[in-house]
Amino acid sequence: MATIAEALAIAFDHHESGRLAEAEILYGRILDADPHQATALHLLGVLYGQTDRPRLAAALFVGAIGLVPDNPGLRYDLARVRLTLEDAEGAVAVLRQTAALQPDHTAALFQLALAFRSVGRYGDSLLTLERLLTLQPDGLEARYLADRAVEREGRDLLARGEIGRAVERLTRPVAESVGVPILSAHAAALYRDGKPRDAARLHRGLLVVNPADAMALWNLSLCRFDECDAAAERLARRARALAPQEAEAHAKLGLALAARGRHAEAVACGRAALACDPAHAPSLVNLGALTLRLAEDALALRLADRALRLVPDLAEALAVRGDALVSLDRPREAVDAYRGALRVAPQLVGAHVNLSHLLLRQGDYAAGWLEFEWRWRSEAQAGQRRPFRQPRWDGGGLEGRSILVHAEQGLGDTIQFVRFLEAVLRAAPAHVHLEAQGPLLSLLTHSLDPGRVSVIPRASNFPGVSGLPETDVQIPLMSLAGLFCPNLEAIPVRVPYLSVPEERRGFWQRRLRSDAPDARLRVGLAWAGRPQYHADVIRSMPLSALAPLAAVPGVALFSLQVGEAAEQVARAPFPVIDLSDGPSGMLEAAAAIEGLDLIVAVDTAIAHLAGALARPVWVLLARENDWRWLSGRDDSPWYPTARLFRQTRRGDWSGPVEAAAHALRRLVEESV
């Protein structure tokens, strides 16, 4: 009679040879003889698993484990059966025991990673795969699963805004091959969406892992432009030192230098980038943008077109093409270029903002105001984005509800758009709170009905909202135009809509007559705007450029200028009466304007103030004038008393000033 050992050997031979029925009979006889024969229990369990009897297999494996608890193979086979039975949690428990018994059991680790994944424990799955890859660095299946787990975990963390954890998780050795590209792509998306600070956090995380990552240095330098131009330049120089042969290194340094106003050096970097790679489309785009700043519009267009021949759907090249076409006075083509850029990159903020300005300049208000809302994503408005709790007003009825209308951007913008409060009041609000800049508070308080509108100062922690009244809804002042001004004909043109106290008007009339008793016309001047404004160098002029006005007989010139430019009065080559000791704040400036016969100003708050007071105002405009003055006309639908004098050549003020002087001479003659 055969021993149990001999019977097991015969049964196993049947099993291995595929004679499963014979093997099953022998395993059964062995267990009849010895129910505690662990090997027979194990092998019969394997056979049951092979013949689609997983529940029986699991029962036998459990029995065998009770007899031989330290056998990792038994536990691994039990886990496989539990996975077949869709008992993933049970499989996880058994596989963890298997790995504890045999830490280098790679098959168990792989199955454990799969089991964790099936029950939604993606972090544990990734940790298990990381452990497995230390044992099998070349395991293709494990690497594939690890990459997918990294991708899922990283995207989930980034979607929740957990940037710190995302960097920590995605820069581990197991994650780098997939995690670093995910972080880089997400940083680029954040930057495109106008969130450079969040993008910078990701790039800094990448640099902690690899301080010599030139690409992260380049991109971090971009993110620092608006925070610290000097830091951006230092980062770009470090990146170029690491990769001087790369076009991108020179291109990014060029951008950093351009942000600091060092355009000649920036152009040199752009050319160095193209020397490294003549077909580097981004460098062509950057150089095109730089040449636009140097007023080389035709060259900028050629560079953008070269880039587009290399990469036909390069959104940034289409945007630069649009900018060049605007400067070349080809607005229809420019609109097509901007819209082409936005078809490729719908989140390209600069293209949206520039398109809005172009459409508004053309008088296409329906489309222009819609695009104008993208200003809130632009870096130019970063310092004015605010965390309001109230919903934004949609233009509907306001019966029984209060509204906060908050001024934005400059003083001229507030003066121009405060006219839309009439439309707000027609919605029958319980009350309107108008938050405005400090210099305008007195003027607006006097001009508006205090029973319906409370004029309040900006929040003490602006752009925060500390101390503002609790209202039901809120809206930016300039966004009212998008609700109530779909075309030029809809502009509210009732003027004056601002006013000054009679006592202040009388004071200034007496003062101005006393200062120039024999003048036929008293003319106020404002020749420069706020230097901090990005386009101030284009819109402003030196006082000396207004000399032709001083040559008109019978005219007395008065300075309404404020800021550093007011110091030019002391050095003026012609007589100008300085009022700097008088107008303090916009209410006093308005009262002085009421006492003058004419205002001549560049595009500043003084021009808007004169128009809002219905005083005669001549506005001297640069060739690239702001959108609000439209194009191709010498009047303004915003201000019926305004007359526009435009440059015909960029930077040349002689044309509009001479035209204004000629018109002033005729005005004096008519006043006799």
For residue 370, pLDDT beyond 80: yes
What average pLDDT is seen over the chain? 86
What is this structure's pTM?
0.71
Per DSSP, the three-state class of 628 is helix
pLDDT higher at 390 or 164: 390
465 near 472, Cβ under 8 Å? no
For residue 226, pLDDT beyond 80: no
Enclosing H/E stretch for 434? strand 431-436
**In the prediction, which pLDDT does 116 show?**
80
For residue 107, pLDDT beyond 60: yes
**Pair of tokens at residue 90:** 């049970």
**In the prediction, which pLDDT does 393 show?**
98
**Pair of tokens at residue 648:** 């015909």
**In the prediction, which pLDDT does 485 show?**
97
**In the prediction, which pLDDT does 1 show?**
44
How many CB atoms are closer than 10 A to CB 482? 20
pLDDT higher at 465 or 137: 465
Summarize pLDDT for 446-466 with one digit per residue, the tens.
Answer: 999 999 999 999 999 999 999
pLDDT, mean of residues 157-184: 63
For residue 407, pLDDT beyond 90: yes
pLDDT, mean of residues 120-128: 75
Summarize pLDDT for 140-160 with one digit per residue, the tens.
Answer: 666 666 656 666 766 776 677
Tell me the CA distances in angstroms from 501 to 457, 505, 506, 508, 581, one per residue in order: 20, 6, 9, 11, 19
Enclosing H/E stretch for 405? strand 402-406
Of the listed ranges 144-158, 165-179, 480-494, 553-567, the least confidently predicted one is 165-179
Instruction: For helices 365-372 and 349-361, give the axis angle rounded to 10 degrees.
Output: 150
Per DSSP, the three-state class of 617 is strand
Enclosing H/E stretch for 7? helix 4-16
Reported confidence tier of residue 638, pLDDT bands at 50, 70, 90: very high
Give the torsion sign (CA, 455, 458, 459, 460): negative
pLDDT, mean of residues 392-417: 96
pLDDT, mean of residues 8-15: 82
Measured CA to CA, the distance from residue 528 to residue 535 in angstroms comes to 11
Summarize pLDDT for 87-106 with one digit per residue, the tens.
Answer: 888 888 888 888 888 888 87
Summarize pLDDT for 471-526 with one digit per residue, the tens.
Answer: 999 999 999 999 999 999 999 999 999 999 999 999 999 999 999 999 999 999 99
